[in-house]
């Protein structure tokens, strides 16, 4: 009998090299974007032949699509509370703090490519949409959709300048420092006007 424990199943072996290819592809897509990422370079980084990459994924678009998927599609797990604007704001800040600490490389691949690749842009849109709806639901004003769009734009602007452009002022700061500065911004956007007006009218008027 052949020892089936030591060298695992054909399918397992395949999944293993597939994962190595995907990891290399994610890294390169995140670093230089879709166009400048070549199948040949991905294969070399993964230690396999270029033909094998094509054999597994068929096309470069499919490779990008698979590489850009977050592991186990864990997105639906992180939901924002929509009860009050304050809760949503804090949850959004906490989510941003996590992303500022270590943004998944698959997300960076999408962000890096979304300005020059329509498939990446579409993936960005569909990934951001449920979150936009959650933010909108927590804001009690008629212009909630625009406010939610601005909050999302701020989050992504900060992440882009920190990770993709490496601007020193944002790249060197700590996540806590950034979210502490952004908290009043977010509260102003989510809570409409200031709760207590300065000069209180008489109680009976």
Interface residue list for its own copies (CB under 8 A): 32-33, 35-36, 111-116, 121, 124-125, 128, 132, 143, 145-150, 152-158, 160-161, 164-165, 167, 169-170, 173, 177-178, 181-182, 184-185, 188-189
From the list 62, 67, 17, the residue with the least C-alpha distance to 43 is 17
The residue among 28 and 100 lying less far from DNA, judged by its C-beta, is: 28
Pick the piece of the chain touching DNA (CB under 7 A) from 7-15, 138-146, 172-180, 182-190: 7-15
**Residue 10 contact partner, candidates its own copies, DNA, none, CB within 5 to 8 A by sort of partner:** DNA
**Residue 121 contact partner, candidates DNA, its own copies, none, CB within 5 to 8 A by sort of partner:** its own copies
Binding of DNA at residue 17 (CB under 7 A)? Answer: yes
Pick the piece of the chain touching DNA (CB under 7 A) from 19-27, 31-39, 81-89, 133-141: 31-39
The residue among 16 and 98 lying less far from DNA, judged by its C-beta, is: 16
Structure-block tokens of residue 40? 């040949």
For the CB of residue 4, give the shortest distance to its own copies in the complex, in Å: 46
Binding of DNA at residue 52 (CB under 7 A)? Answer: yes
Structure-block tokens of residue 88? 């949503």
DSSP the chain: ---TTTS--HHHHHHHHHHHHHHHHHHHHHHHHHHH--HHHHHHHHTS-HHHHHHHHSSHHHHHHHHHSPGGG-GGG-----S-HHHHHHHHHHHHHHHHH---HHHHHHHHHTTT-HHHHHHHHHHHHHHHHHHHHH--STTHHHHHHHHHHHHHHHHIIIIIS--HHHHSS-HHHHHHHHHHHHHHHHS-S-SS-SSPPPS--
Q: Which of 2, 4, 10, 198 binds DNA (CB under 7 A)?
A: 10
Pick the piece of the chain touching DNA (CB under 7 A) from 55-63, 81-89, 125-133, 177-185: 55-63
Interface residues with DNA (CB under 7 A) are 10-11, 13-14, 17, 37-41, 48-52, 54-55, 58-61
């Amino acid at each position: 009998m052949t020892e089936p424990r030591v060298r695992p199943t054909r399918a397992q072996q395949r999944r293993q090299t597939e994962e190595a290819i995907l990891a290399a592809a994610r890294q390169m897509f995140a670093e230089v974007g879709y166009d400048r990422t070549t199948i040949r370079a991905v294969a070399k980084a993964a230690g396999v032949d270029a033909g094998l990459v094509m054999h597994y994924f068929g096309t470069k678009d499919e490779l990008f699509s698979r590489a850009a998927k977050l592991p186990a599609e864990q997105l639906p797990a992180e939901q924002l509370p929509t009860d009050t604007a304050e809760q949503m704001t804090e949850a959004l800040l906490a989510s941003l703090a996590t992303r500022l600490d270590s943004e998944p490389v698959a997300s960076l691949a999408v962000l890096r490519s979304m300005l020059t690749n329509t498939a990446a842009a579409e993936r960005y849109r569909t990934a951001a949409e449920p979150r936009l709806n959650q933010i909108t639901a927590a804001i009690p004003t008629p212009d909630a959709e625009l406010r939610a769009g601005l909050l999302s734009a701020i989050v992504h602007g900060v992440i882009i300048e920190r990770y993709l452009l490496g601007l020193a002022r944002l790249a060197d700061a700590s996540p806590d420092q950034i979210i502490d500065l952004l908290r009043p911004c977010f509260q102003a956007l989510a809570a409409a006007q200031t709760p207590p007006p300065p000069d209180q009218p008489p109680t009976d008027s």
